[in-house]
Amino acid sequence: MISSTNLKVHKLDNFTLKSGVTINLELFYLTVGELNEKKDNVIIYPTRYAGTHLEQGYLIGEQLALNPKDYFIIIPNMFCNGVSSSPSNTIEPSNGPNFPLITIQDNVTAQHNLVTNFFGIENIKLVVGWSMGGQQAYQWATQYPDMVENIAAMCAHAKTSGHTHVFLEGMYAALTSDLNWNEGNYKEQPNAGKTTMAMAWAGWALGQNWFREKLYLNDGYKSPQEVLDKLWKTIYYKRDANDLLAMIRTWQEHDISNNEKFNGNIEEALSSIKANVVLMPGINDLYFPPEENKEELKSLKNGKLEIIPSNYGHYAGAAKSKEDLDFVNNQIKILI
């Protein structure tokens, strides 16, 4: 069901970014299901950090909440992910380290352009996403409050916290420590830096409980070291280094209130959301902890918090276990 065979492109010429920079962009997207006559069965399902449309299939199916027999599901590839416009696939002079900062707001503005100008859609049934996909769901709800009925944000916050900003800066430093980095003008991919970043990231992504409960045994790994050697060591090798770094900057800049409408007032931004909101943090997520969703909930008019009781850390929202998938799937079914 999810493949690159039916991948389509939406061209955005002379697109003005939040920063004021104008650039030609290409938004690659995949659709699953059929748009009904009323155009009111639309689900937006954005991608996450270092992910593409190919990783989005776990929530789509006839027995799942995102049933393609009922809904028209649009999967937009986030900018800088190597599919949509990114440092790695943009021509000079905006290629590589010269590629401009793309914010979550820019991503959603581009997606809105696709949805309205190409498809003629005026109402969104649901925006759902995990991690940076959840950030985009939050952004949709604040940027286009009259258009979005529901959002489900899994392991995501309305604003990147100071702690997560610091964590990401460490990942940025790890990758750029490679001797081949050359300020982003590398001739060969700085894979040693990618490995350094991945080794540091592994403990954050899965969390203490996953290792304490030895859940790696369920995935065929004999020890924590084998998890590093066989899973994480080369996990980013297929991704371009400048793309990975650009997505880190996008993540760090995320703040639904950082615009002229809200002027940094996060409570006002949250209270402006008209959509029904379900926040699903993983109970052991180290960089999207439930505590911050609890604070956001205080300002949401139609929000609820459903903590995923998972030992998979941040990957709770990626449904790495059947229990996690059932939990997330059931909450989305209740929402829509």
Contacts of 297 by beta carbon, 8 Å cutoff, 6+ apart: 279, 303, 304, 305
CB atoms within 10 A of CB 100: 19
Report which DSSP code applies to 259. Answer: S
Give the active site residue among 88, 131, 257, 272.
Answer: 131
Contact 106/129 with Cβ under 8 angstroms?
A: no
Between CA 124 and CA 264, with CA 256 as vertex, the angle to 5 degrees is 150
- Residue the block writes with tokens 């990758």: 175
Burial of 247 (0-12, 13-18, 19+ CB in 10 A): buried
- Residue the block writes with tokens 């993983």: 282
Identify the CA nearest to 253 among candidates 42, 107, 146. 107
- For the record, the structure tokens of 38 come out as 């009323």
Contact 212/183 with Cβ under 8 angstroms?
A: no
Give the active site residue among 240, 255, 285, 324.
Answer: 285
Whether 314 sits among the annotated catalytic residues: the reply is yes
- Supply the Cα-derived Rg of the chain in whole angstroms: 19
Identify the CA nearest to 157 among candidates 306, 298, 292, 312. 292
Active site members: 131, 285, 314
